[in-house]
Structure 1
Amino acid sequence: MRWESAIGVLGGYGAVGAAVVRRLVAAGAGPVLVAGRDAARAEDLARRARAAGAPVGALRADLDDPDSLDAFAARCRLVVNCAGPSYRVLDTVARAALRAGADYVDAAGDDPVAARLRDVGEEHAGRVDGRVLVLSAGALPGLSGLIPRALVARAENPVRLDAHLGGVAPLTPAAAGDVLLGHGPEHGIPSAAWRGGGVRERVLPPLRDITLDAFPRPVGAFPFLSTEAVRLAGATGLEEVNWYTVFGGERLAEELALTRALEGTDTAPLVAAAAEDVARLGAWYGQEFRLWEGSVEGPHSRTAVLRAEDSYELSAFLAGVTALRVLDGSVPPGVSRAAEVLDPEATVRALAADRCAELVLS
């Protein structure tokens, strides 16, 4: 088979990428080209897919080898980036896709990537015009900005949203890198909240041993107003947004705080700490959104509860859906984020029907 005009999945044998490949194949999209630094792993996945009758090929492509990235992107009409960590990838893969005239979906990527792609557009408008580039097509950011949009759309007079997102999960080295470095001002502000049309700092304290429907046991929640939460607040007109990161276990939270305090860059202790939490508590992930209508005081009126065993499968779900919507022409050209261009209601219905998670909006 000639691997031209393929859907290329970079990092296609990883925790997210392999699930994206499965979803694209199941949807009848293809041919699919699996790429990554480890050519043997890419070929192994492709060979198993071909044995089942799926049109899947493999190619070596390395972030540190621009020629290999260009050779990969040249075979693709759409590049889905599942390689990480995002702080290292940044816009490297997106630029390769643009050079090849391909569309682009990033399972991660947020403000730092969007800013760099805006610079590309200003410098070389022709490279961006007509191309679709969708960022933040994962569980967080991504579903974390899309599910509350569906909840708000169902409300009469939404005024306040509380969000709790996290759990206990194994960390790949790439994911650990994003956890470690995803806390600067380009990502969000600790202890801040949205109040009356703007960000207010030093508003919220951490919460200890709270019980929420999205999580099987009491959890700790640490306020962190992400840039995604700020965009959501501005787009929906909410008066108040309180946004929390949830740690279901203690070891990862402890190790993360220590590593940041020492300004460390080694992700191995975080991977080990997450593994300890999983060994003791099992793996589970959740997102819970509580919405107030009419008044920010009193009990909330609506809730969205997402429960899953595997956050990587959630990211693959949204990356896969986003890729399919790009392929069918549903996403307009330009740089956007999945939560802002996908249909919230249609996406939450699809997620609720998917075996990767349990989602209830009430």
Structure 2
Amino acid sequence: MIGVVGATGEVGSHAVRVLRDLDVGPLRLGGSRDVDHRDDGSLDRFAAGCRVLVNCSGPAHAVGDRVARAALRAGAGYVDASEVDGPGVTGAGLRPGLTGLLPRWLARREFDAVHGLVAHLAVLDRFTATAAADYLHASDSEPLAAWREGKVSGVLTRRTGVALPFLADEVTLLPHLGREEERLAAALKLARGDWYTAVSGEHVRTAFDRARTLDHADAVAALVRASALDLAGREPHVVLAVRLDGVSGSEPITRTAVLRGRGNGELTGALTALAVLAVDRGEALSGFAAEVLDPEVTLARLAECGIASPFVVEGELSVEEGAL
């Protein structure tokens, strides 16, 4: 039995669909009426008899490690779309998750050694109240920081009106460095690493700026409204682009990998489901998803599910290669 807490939410519903497509189960689905993540007794009853317990509920800071502890008491494997401390495979989402897997996939596929990285994550999608609350509560990422053979604060700047070859609209680039990025930089032995969130919607950008002056509930509501305005008449999409510089053999090379998806919820739910498959098969036991899932196997499965398929370009993308 695979138990899914938060099965009816934005992430959970996509995870359930992929689990069914993969014929992983049987499934025990827990929506807000079926299991209360705030109550240990409710969680224990739901987890009883499960071989893997999955948490797709949120906000992550409110749930904490309650579902993970219920899995431990039940003797079940554990997967969480969010990054929480404790046993099981966690951080199995878009970020963290795919943002750590794609550069590992590219490095293993093309390089003998990697020296530099530049990554952009662009998301045009609606913020649910849960996703907005998680975004505003996140504290693991330092704005304007980058990797220069170690974390360096304030080395990058926010840039507006930037044209990127793999996006149709000009964007605002928000540099950041968080725990996943630091672990990736150390694993790849990077000398230099720059990570950016690329924001194309003017309403979301304004809401980000106003969030610091609002109380939490008003800031969440503002992000939800702003994302709906930016998405009006447009198709949601996610673009993750990673450029690596390094060597293959004795030759210096540059490669860019791009992964495109239809939305944050779909990509996060899909990676959560693929992490469940890996745990259920004994391929991964415990750790952060980007570090314990096999990049080649996981991205191949993501493509087989029809969710997203990465492609690689020699050097940097041109406008013709990259525009949406």
Answer yes or no: same fold by TM over 0.5: yes
Residue 246 of structure 2 corresponds to which residue in structure 1? 293
The gaps in structure 2 that reach 5 residues or longer are 314-324
Partner of 1:157: 113
Contact 1:215/1:285 (<8 A) preserved: no
**Letter aligned with residue 360 of structure 1:** F
Structure 1 residue 214 displacement after superposition: 3.8
Question: Offset at 1:263?
Answer: 4.9
Query: 1:211: Cα distance to partner?
Result: 2.8
Aligned to 1:10: 5
Q: Trace 1:126-275 onto structure 2 (pairs within 5 A).
A: 133-153=88-108, 154-182=110-138, 184=139, 187-196=140-149, 198-266=150-218, 267-275=220-228
**Partner secondary structure for residue 232 of structure 2:** helix
Query: For residues 228-248 of structure 1, what are the alpha-carbon distances to aligned partners after superposition, in whole Å with 9 as ceiling and x for unaligned?
Result: 100000011011110111212
Spell out, residue by residue over 1:292-342, the C-alpha distance to the aligned partner (whole angstroms, 9 max, x if none).
Answer: 125xxxx9710011112212111111111110010111113xx40111011
C-alpha contact (below 8 Å) 2:122/2:198 kept by paired residues: yes
Report if aligned partners of 1:223, 1:245 keep a CA contact under 8 Å in 2. Answer: yes
| The one of 19, 22, 36 aligned to 2:17 | 22
Which of 309, 317, 320 is the equivalent residue of 2:273? 320
TM alignment of 1:106-145, pairs within 5 A: 106-109=80-83, 113-114=84-85, 117=86, 133-145=88-100
Measured in 2, the distance between the counterparts of 1:166 and 1:259 equals 20
Q: Which residue matches 1:361?
A: 312
1:46 is aligned to none
* Kept after mapping to 2: 8 A contact 1:214/1:307: no
- Mapped contact 2:123–2:239 kept (Cα < 8 A): yes
One-letter amino acid of the counterpart of residue 259, structure 2: L
Picking from 261, 273, 276, the partner of 1:308 is 261
Q: What letter matches 1:338 in structure 2?
A: A
TM-score (ref. length: structure 2): 0.90
Instruction: Please tell me the residue identity of whatever aligns with 1:68.
Output: S
- Whole-Å separation in 2 of the counterparts to 1:264 and 1:205: 26
Kindly indicate whether the alpha-carbon contact (under 8 Å) linking 2:18 and 2:305 is maintained by their aligned counterparts in 1: no
Equivalent pairs: percent with the same residue? 41
Residue 240 of structure 2 aligns to a residue whose secondary structure is strand
Question: Residue deviations 1:133-181, cap 9 Å, x none?
Answer: 0100011110000000011122133110001112210111111111111
Segments of 5+ residues of structure 1 without an aligned counterpart are 1-5, 39-59, 118-131
SS in 2 for 1:61: coil
Aligned length: 308
User: What is the root-mean-square deviation of aligned Cα atoms in Å?
Assistant: 1.9
Q: TM-score, normalised by structure 1?
A: 0.81
SS at match of 2:197: strand
Distance between the aligned counterparts of 2:60 and 2:154, measured in 1? 28
- Over 3 Å counting, the alpha-carbon distance change for 1:320 and 1:214 in structure 2 is farther
Report the equivalent of 2:63. 89
The residue number in structure 2 matching 1:52 is: none
1:82–1:106 CA contact under 8 A, matched in 2? yes
Distance 1:166 1:300, change over 3 A: farther
Higher RCO by CA contacts (8 Å cutoff, separation 6 or greater): 2
